[in-house]
Amino acid sequence: MRAADERLLETEKFKALGQLTGGLAHDFNNLLTVISLNLEIATDMIGDDHPVLDLIEPAMKAASSGAQLTSSLLSFARRQPLVARTSDINALLGEMASLAARTLGGRHPIRLALRPDLPPCAIDRVQFESAVLNLLINSRDAMPSGGEITLGSDLVTVPAGGTAALPDLSPGRYVSVAVTDTGMGIPAELREKVFEPFFTTKPVGQGTGLGLSMATGFARQSGGQITLDSVAGGGTTVRLLLPAAATPPAAP
């Protein structure tokens, strides 16, 4: 009973936080749109060699960075429009492993552990790739001296009546995407906080604290859930669970 009450309080907290964050992000995004449009108009009105361009260009870059930030906030608040397509998750993970290798660097190789014959999922591919990339970057940062990152997939079935381990999921089949590192792990007192927007243990300027919160928003908006298992000194595994689709994946 106590665990259920704590879970309800946690759900209500995230709901209120999402409403507040989503409202602020929406208003902030409108302001950034006005700023960006006026900067573009100003650029068109002056010549290519005008000295003011040196001031406009960094302002446009800052506005673009602000737009990316609000996009992450809207994702956490589940207000980011999703364009779902039935997709082969293993194929996407294989592509991502190759592309992410450059971002992660040679000291953090990715090992694929993909379950064969995995059913497809109806997902927004851009948001999915962004969520998984954030999880990979978090794993890299958890191992500053280097280490292997495992990117895996599996199939999970939630029985009728649900399961205590996955209280947010309805009965059915779910594709699990897991990112595992061998870092120092996350202290028990921080394991719930890491999903909150802007929470980070990284130094100022080295992270926004939006990676996990964005992935959480994407999972919930897609009808899934995100989970975290961590052992002090023994590494961390973050799982993104998404409803399995009955139809074949769409053509690329």
Q: Residue 28 burial (CB < 10 Å; 0-12/13-18/19+)? A: middle
What order do you get walking across the sheet with 149-158 strand by strand?
Answer: 110-113, 149-158, 172-181, 235-243, 225-231
Model-level pTM?
Answer: 0.69
Which pLDDT does position 77 carry in this prediction? Answer: 53
In a domain, 252, yes or no: no
Give per-residue pLDDT as tens, 5-32: 555 455 555 555 555 555 566 566 667 7
Q: What is the pLDDT of residue 93?
A: 96
User: Which secondary structure element, helix H or strand E, spans residue 85, and what is its range?
Assistant: strand 84-87
Q: 102 and 71 in one domain?
A: no
Helices (DSSP H) in 46-105: which residue ranges? 53-76, 89-104
Q: What is the CATH number of the domain that holds 230?
A: 3.30.565.10
Residue 82's pLDDT band (boundaries 50, 70, 90)?
Answer: confident
Q: Is there a single domain that holds both residue 141 and residue 228?
A: yes
Say what the pLDDT of residue 25 is.
Answer: 60
Of 173 and 199, which is predicted with more confidence? 173
With contact defined as beta carbons under 8 Å apart, do 174 and 244 qualify? Answer: yes
DSSP H helices, 77-210, are: 89-104, 125-141
Given pLDDT bands bounded at 50, 70 and 90, which one contains residue 139?
A: very high
Domain boundary among 76, 99, 114: 76
**The pLDDT of residue 71:** 65
What is residue 113's predicted lDDT score, i.e. its pLDDT? 97
Question: For a pLDDT cut of 90, what percent of the chain falls above it?
Answer: 34
Please indicate, yes or no, whether residues 108 and 174 belong to a single structural domain of this protein.
Answer: yes
Domains contained in the chain, number: 2
Pairing of strands 225-231, 235-243: antiparallel
49 plus 92 within the same structural domain: no
Q: What is the pLDDT of residue 150?
A: 97
Pairwise pLDDT comparison (209 vs 212), residue with the higher score: 212
Are residues 153 and 128 part of one domain?
Answer: yes
How confident is the model over 179-190, as pLDDT tens digits? 999 998 988 888
Instruction: Determine the structural domain holding residue 215 and report its residue range.
Output: 84-243
Spatial neighbors of 57 by CB under 8 A, at least 6 apart, are none
